[in-house]
Amino acid sequence: MKYKMGKLGKHQFMQKYEAISPLLPDTKAATKSNIKNMLMKYDSLYIKLDEGTGGRGIYKITHDHRGFILRIGTTSRTYTAFEALYHSLARFLNKDRYIVQQGIDLLKHNGRSFDIRVMVQKNRKGEFETTGIVGRLAKPKKIVTNFHSGGTPLPLDTLLQSHLDKAARANFIKKMESLGRRASIVLAESYRSKKAFGVDIAIDSTMKPWILEINTGPDMSIFNELQDKTMYKRMLRYSKF
């Protein structure tokens, strides 16, 4: 099986694998009924372009006693009723294919949310290997962590310091590297010709990892922003294989 899939297609494909499926946030096509039903189940939702990259076209919906809060970038609007919220969403939902995804309460560092990018590449033998891992710290008050949307790349060890001790951090980072590799091997069943994947992982407040998305054309430049260039140089070397 070899074909191009958007976020929803990748999600549905990976759901079939028992080792990965419990780590996938609930994700569906962004229809009116799906959004309404998921708002009853989850504290927050993300609405994303099915084929968007770099943090573009991402909206966050939360709800409280005031109603529904729709956020994009650093701006927000409150709607007292679901119909009014959906009327606002329909303006862009009708133009492009969007997905709706269960919101994950991300771990924070100095009050700012962060997630993880794991880079996985094929080595000389054609086997997948994790070549890099980095934390992405969201800009203050922003809903996305992407580097191209103002997120700050930082060593994951730094971001985990207020959550885990040194030994636990080292162990946790190893687990995330392994998870990124396993998820890439699964998706590679459908993308046989791909030599690199970028796996985006969210960590919730209970330290559970969630696989948000797997990029099939990952940008390595985020790793070049780190002071230590070891991972970036390794990726450049592996990209020649």
What is the reported pLDDT for 100?
A: 97
- Structure confidence at residue 139 as a pLDDT band (50, 70, 90): confident
Whole-prediction pTM: 0.92
The pLDDT assigned to 2 comes to 46
Tokens representing 136 are 């992405």
Q: How far apart are CA 144 and CA 34, in angstroms?
A: 22
Decide: 152 and 231 in contact? Cβ < 8 Å.
no
Beta-bridge partner residues of 18 = none
Mean pLDDT for the stretch of residues 131-157: 82
At residue 53's C-alpha, the angle toward residues 52 and 59, to 5°, is: 65
Rounded Cα gap, residues 163 and 1, in angstroms = 41
For residue range 145-201, what is the model confidence (pLDDT) as tens digits? 665 656 799 999 999 999 999 999 999 999 999 999 999 999 999 999 999 999 999
Give 206-210 contacts, CB < 8 A, sequence gap 24+.
Answer: 207/107, 207/163, 207/164, 207/172, 208/23, 209/23, 209/175, 209/176, 209/179, 210/23, 210/24, 210/25, 210/104
- pLDDT at site 207: 97
